[in-house]
Amino acid sequence: MVREKFMPRKILLILFTLVVGMALALFLLRHPEEEPVPEKFVEVSGAQEIVDGKHVATALVADEGMNLVIAHCTGCHSAKLITQNRFNSEGWIRVIRWMQETQNLWDLGESENTIVAYLSKHYAPAFAGRRIPLPDTEWYELKEE
Ligand code: HEC
């Protein structure tokens, strides 16, 4: 008699546990779909990022040839060695030949023209022409004796 009294409660308890458990399982399974990983974390790797026209990882100016420079010129030393130097195209070729003769830099092949063009465009000597005329100068006249 006592048993029969408690049976429905037990069944209810089991049913309740099953329903709650299934609801919980469904919630947990659905959860990742509701919050997908933002695409930018997947697609943009920090090493490729360009901000204000400069490649963040190397500080090289973003332009045609930059990727070749990154590929050929940043394996042995920092890109800083490039960005802190200024040469015209002959100068850059001289640096490249020096590295090829003494530092085991490989033959750049067809990429050399693009690399030298990029370097001499963005890392060229600053204009060092005539000085700016002096402002507000009072000239005096030379007197003949
Ligand atoms: C195989 C290794 C290697 C590669 C690849 C390489 N370099 Fe170098 N580079 C060196 C070494 C070694 C030095 C000397 C570093 C030092 O003085 O501390 C150097 C020095 C330099 C310097 C400084 C020269 C000076 O007169 O002070 C510049 C500029 C430079 N490299 C540019 C480049 C560029 C541009 C490229 C790509 C075309 C490149 N490097 C690729 C090894 C390399």
pLDDT digits (tens, 9 = 90+) for 1-27: 555 566 788 888 899 999 999 999 888
User: Is the residue at 129 inside a domain?
Assistant: no
Number of domains in the chain: 2
Confidence (pTM): 0.67
Q: Ligand 1 pocket check: which of 77, 85, 96, 120 to mutate, most ligand atoms within 8 Å of Cβ?
A: 77
Q: What number is the average pLDDT over the span 77-86?
A: 96
Q: What is the DSSP string of the chain?
A: -HHHHHHHHHHHHHHHHHHHHHHHHHHHHHHHHHSPPPHHHHH--GGG-EETTEETTT--B-STTHHHHHHHHSSSS-THHHHT----HHHHHHHHHHHHHHS-PPP-TTHHHHHHHHHHHHSPPPP--SPPPPSS----PPPP-
Same domain, residue pair 21 and 56: no
Average pLDDT over residues 16-40: 76
77 CA distance to ligand 1 middle (Å): 7
Q: Could you list the residue range(s) of the whole structural domain that residue 100 is in?
A: 46-122
Task: Specify the residue with its C-alpha closest to ligand 1, atom 33.
Answer: 73
Tell me, yes or no, whether 72 lies in a domain: yes
